Chain A
Amino acid sequence: MQPYKPLIVAFCCNWCSYAGADLAGNNRLSYPADVKIIRVPCSCRVNPMFILRAFQRGADGVILCGCHPGDCHYTTGNYYTRRRMSLLFSMLDYLGIERERTRVEWVSAAEGAKFAATMNDFAETVAALGENKRLEDLRCKK
């Protein structure tokens, strides 16, 4: 049987992680093609609604990537992200949505290899969980 190929949505901050993804590409490091990157000005831009909406539209896992704490282009954006996502992901866990489906990772512009490794690892973890059934919108299923 083919292993399940999950759909991953990755919110990447414009200044670090998006550049990190670029670097991964330039260095020909491979990561799953089902990782859909959405560029955001700062990880702090990611509203909880974005994450839920990604699940609604069929994502099996959502990962949020930003600059390392202390390196935010806007000085403090990712510190807020860290707090927000701690609460949001705990809440999703509380509602019985598998906690492995969500992740926050700090990836700098120089860490192309880390980006690829993170995505590979995350995709593998989510693949093991299979299809997202607990936070799905049936109308969006084909």
Chain B
Amino acid sequence: MRAISYAKLDTLFAKIAETHGVYLPVEGKKGTDYKRWEQGDVYSTALNSNRSPKDIFFPQSENLMDFKVEGKSIEIVDTRSESEDFVIFGVRACDVKSIEVLDRVFLKEPADSYYENRRSHAVIMSMACTKPAETCFCKTFGIDPAEPMGDIACWVDGEVLYMNANTEKGEALLEKLEGITEEASADAADTAKALITERMAKLPLAALKADAFGAGKTQKYFDHPAWAELSEACLGCGTCTYVCPTCQCYDIKDFNTGHGVKRFRCWDSCMYSDFTQMSAGQPRLTQLERFRQRFMHKLVYYPENNDGMFSCVGCGRCLAKCPIKMNIAKVMKTIGKENDND
């Protein structure tokens, strides 16, 4: 384990920036967002960034390729370029897990080269959550915020930042930082960890369990009568899907620039009524079906394809942001309720 004074974070970022791009959460005018570090930017300790680090690997919108159309012929222009090496600093345990959730989608054969390109150049420095919020429920999905994953895990205890490499990539980076960091004992962060564990137990959603969900529950929950009531007030906006660190649905569209065609990919939301609209019909006719799809996908369908891993990490962004305050915690409590009696 390595240590550096918290006051010297700037030195740390400057050192990493010599060889890598550095992204970190920075406090903006309204809330925190990830941005590329420049001299003078201050790392924000805010728990949840407005938008999750998913943006960095799977941006809101990205160009896939260009076309030049002339008469009857078409030319395809590959616009991809190799990503730089970069470090994301301060990723919370839940968000680290969310990247694993995305990996299982995008890196599964056939791999998405756009995502893979950025993913393979990234070093993730995670940050333990000393002060979780009332909306946090990562424990529900087996995530321990005291032991965040990622290439390098970090803890803050008082004035010191401790760093521990979890992977070879992380070790390589820590080695590079040896000049500005000091050796610390393996148990140096234990006080911080203990505090986190103690605090996690106090959270209002600490008792929320995901046991009722998982692979093989499709038939059980699909026709559950509670979906109607839960989805009743849903506006059909895309807030939950866009702030969600694991939602990965996208659309591919063409934009005619007047001198060529750009094919781009952008986030899309299963909550939108035109998501599945075809000229031949619409398989998800009402908001009930769209609402159900989102939660069934996170809690049942995804685990079925991914060894039981849920596609929710309990970051709590949707709890905080939903305009009508309907969210996955309420869904799990309502739909999974009967299971308590089993």
Asked if A and B bind, the verdict is yes
Question: Measuring CB to CB, which residues of chain A are less than 8 angstroms from any residue of chain B?
Answer: 57-58, 139-140, 142
- Of the A-B pairs whose beta carbons lie under 8 Å apart in the complex, a sample of 9, sorted by A's number, is A57-B258, A58-B258, A139-B255, A139-B257, A139-B262, A140-B257, A140-B258, A140-B259, A142-B259
From B255, B258, B262, name the one whose CB has the most chain A CB atoms within 10 angstroms: B258
Interface range for B: under 10
Distance between Cα atoms of A139 and B263 in the complex (Å):
11
- Which residue of chain B has the shortest Cβ distance to A58 in the bound complex? B258
Q: CA separation between A36 and B167, bound complex, in Å? A: 60
Question: What CA separation (Å) do A57 and B255 show in the bound complex?
Answer: 12
Closest 4 CB pairs of A and B: A140-B257, A139-B257, A140-B258, A57-B258
* Chain B 269-305 per-residue mask, 1 if CB under 8 angstroms from chain A, else 0: 0000000000000000000000000000000000000
When distances are taken between beta carbons in the complex, the residues of chain A under 8 Å from B259 are: 140, 142
Q: Is the interface of A mostly helix, strand, loop or mixed?
A: loop
Residues of A within 8 A of B257 (CB): 139-140
Residues of B within 8 A of A142 (CB): 259
Shortest beta-carbon distance from B312 to chain A in Å: 35
User: What is the distance, in angstroms, from B67's C-beta to the closest C-beta of chain A?
Assistant: 13
Q: Which of B244-266 contact A (CB under 8 A)?
A: 255, 257-259, 262
A139 to B257, CA, bound (A): 6
In the complex, which residues of chain B have a beta carbon less than 8 angstroms from the beta carbon of A58? 258
Apart from A58-B258, A139-B257, 7 more pairs, CB < 8 Å = A57-B258, A139-B255, A139-B262, A140-B257, A140-B258, A140-B259, A142-B259
With a 10 A CB-CB cut-off, give which of B255, B257, B259, B262 has the most chain A CB atoms.
Answer: B257
Shortest Cβ gap from A7 to chain B (Å): 11
CB-CB under 8 A from A139, the residues of chain B are 255, 257, 262
Shortest CB-to-CB span from B241 to chain A, Å, is 24
Distance (whole angstroms) from the CB of B259 to the closest CB of chain A: 6
**Which residues from 131 to 147 on chain B have a C-beta closer than 8 Å to any C-beta of chain A?**
none
Interface 1/0s, chain B 62-91, versus A by CB < 8 A?
Answer: 000000000000000000000000000000
Expressed in whole angstroms, the minimum distance between the Cβ of A138 and any Cβ of chain B is 10
Which A residue sits closest to B259, measured CB to CB? Answer: A142
Chain B: minimal CB distance from A37 (Å): 18
Complex: A58 Cα to B259 Cα, angstroms: 12
Cα-based distance from A21 to B257 in the complex (angstroms): 29
- Docked complex Cα distance between A57 and B259 (Å): 10
Q: How far is the CA of A142 from the CA of B255 in the complex (A)?
A: 14
